[in-house]
Structure 1
């Protein structure tokens, strides 16, 4: 379990954040943030005052990363790229999350290493991670300025056209109904969004297509919503392309794997981040996933993975 609770002893009265800095190596900002999150407990109760003192025994809840042996696809002095399997979260959802990619990164490269962008839990593929605070800042700026070119592969329902450019504004729905807890939709009042699509292969016996997707903007669920919008939802998508009852069942974790397969065509979302292209520190990089996504997708479609 990455989040562990351990007992410590402060030999003399002192500010709690100073103890975390001096004894555990946190920066002042990190120490104060962890205290504000209720991670330091005195007599079983969270220390709530930012400048609070401690003396004697107390408990501290902190992130202790674990490894499952996932090896990076690509590495330099400044950054590393992992080929994330489907089902692995980028960050823990809560203190009970058993494992996420940030575990692997920090276990292998230390506390200052950090993930610089996100892909969905069920999306597999390339994730660019910084090894230190400086490269983290520089890589995040690169993403903000859209200097990163990303290519995804998706297996979709139906026969896809040779090429297609979708420019449909996307809105993250915010209301109380269950249906929109995770759902993004095309809406004229939404944010400008653009994705280029190219057909790679059509499988007539399945009536499915393998498609390359190049997003020009980075909206949540952008590729999934744009493909649904043009009536070619991604195989295995439990939200876009499904009826409301099944979406709610999926969000409530009540949709069985068998039901999901029969409704969507796969037990996982068949979307893969396959290529990253960018310039950093005067070098050009074109990093490609080592996963044979076509073969993997066909295994899921035939339910033999």
Structure 2
């Protein structure tokens, strides 16, 4: 059965006289994002005093009667797919999953299906209220295809807006925390440090990121948890924890390569360190080959729940292939 169009009528309060109509509606319609309301305005779904308004910048007056029509959520163009997911937490507002390495987050060029979004559309069938008017999960952050670990996804427009604000702040003033475990070549001179280096697309290869003057601010904090030596007692590799203060594409991978300690198994940013493999034992080389991807795992995620006054905190153990590599590196 087709869903009915939802209709809302409201009066502009005295305190909002002279304000933009999109801002007024965003303050009065709690479950909808301002971007979604702007789309409805442009689509002719909003009227003031019986006159259709199509410009989000339209200024309202105190006492104006605003009428809003909300069409039913449209089905997603993407197709649901029964892909197994490791669900860490789920409620009416959000879902937290532990993403395996090899799973792409969102369909794109060369990956039209078989993604996390396709899997979530199948898993959450009937429980998505619509993000931006489309029945789809709300992606508020991403992990590279070959990075494993914790991700949170919004199930409602309101949750998407709330979580997006937390990730935009990167935990600077709020409760968001993101922690990563990484295995890098060699050992940094200091046990703790901060990499503050702007990132932009590489001029030589637009599919890669690079540290570049004038790029977007990018800050990564790290701490060395353990160091593994080669047979001569020299630092071969280290296990480190990284915390993000910004969230740029490939940020950890580029930053660690920039300071001379790229991730083990990273074919894009760590290719120049393949010679280090000669210093490994046969077991260590086999473990690295078995890894088959960059040694990066999003192990920690903490955030404020979008509708309940509580902090959600999740931790994820190293996946088997990274644990096997650590065990091999630990051998004496």
Q: Name the TM-score, length of structure 1 as normaliser.
A: 0.66
CA shift, 1:296, in A, is 2.7
Alignment partner of 1:183 is 2:198: no
Q: Distance in 1 between matches of 2:293 and 2:325?
A: 8
SS at match of 1:233: coil
Q: Is residue 2:167 matched to residue 1:152?
A: no
Of 55, 79, 82, the residue aligned with 1:64 is 79
Given the alignment of the two structures, is residue 198 of structure 1 paired with residue 244 of structure 2, yes or no?
no
1:92 corresponding residue in structure 2? 107
Distance, in Å, in 1 between the alignment partners of 2:199 and 2:139 is 25
Matches within 5 A, 1:1-305: 62-94=77-109, 97-110=112-125, 111-147=135-171, 148-160=176-188, 161-173=190-202, 175=203, 179-205=204-230, 207-242=236-271, 266-280=291-305, 281=307, 282-289=309-316, 291-293=317-319, 296-299=321-324
- Aligned partner of residue 118 in structure 2, secondary structure: helix
Runs of 4+ residues deviating >4 angstroms: 22-27
Aligned residue for 1:240, secondary structure, equals coil
The one-character-per-residue Cα deviations of 1:107-154 (angstroms, maximum 9, x if unpaired) are 111334322211110111111011112211211122112232210110
C-alpha distance in 2 between matches for 1:144 and 1:77? 22
Contact 2:81–2:114 (CA under 8 A) maintained in structure 1: yes
SS in 1 for 2:322: helix
1:250 aligns with none
Q: Aligned pair in 2 of structure 1 residues 65, 220: CA closer, same or farther (>3 Å)? A: same
Structure 1 residue matching 2:97: 3-state secondary structure: strand
- The separation in 2 between residues aligned to 1:298 and 1:114, in whole angstroms, is 31
Unaligned runs of 5+ in 2: 7-34, 40-74, 126-134, 275-284
Q: Displacement, 1:209? A: 0.7
Secondary structure at the counterpart of residue 273 of structure 1? strand
Distance 1:222 1:278 in 2: 21
Q: Is the 8 A contact 2:185 2:236 kept in 1?
A: yes
- Distance of aligned partners of 1:168 and 1:108 in 2 relative to their CA distance in 1, 3 Å threshold: same
Tell me which structure has the larger Cα radius of gyration: 2
1:96, CA displacement in angstroms?
A: 5.8
> Residues of 2 paired with 1:158 and 1:95: CA distance?
35
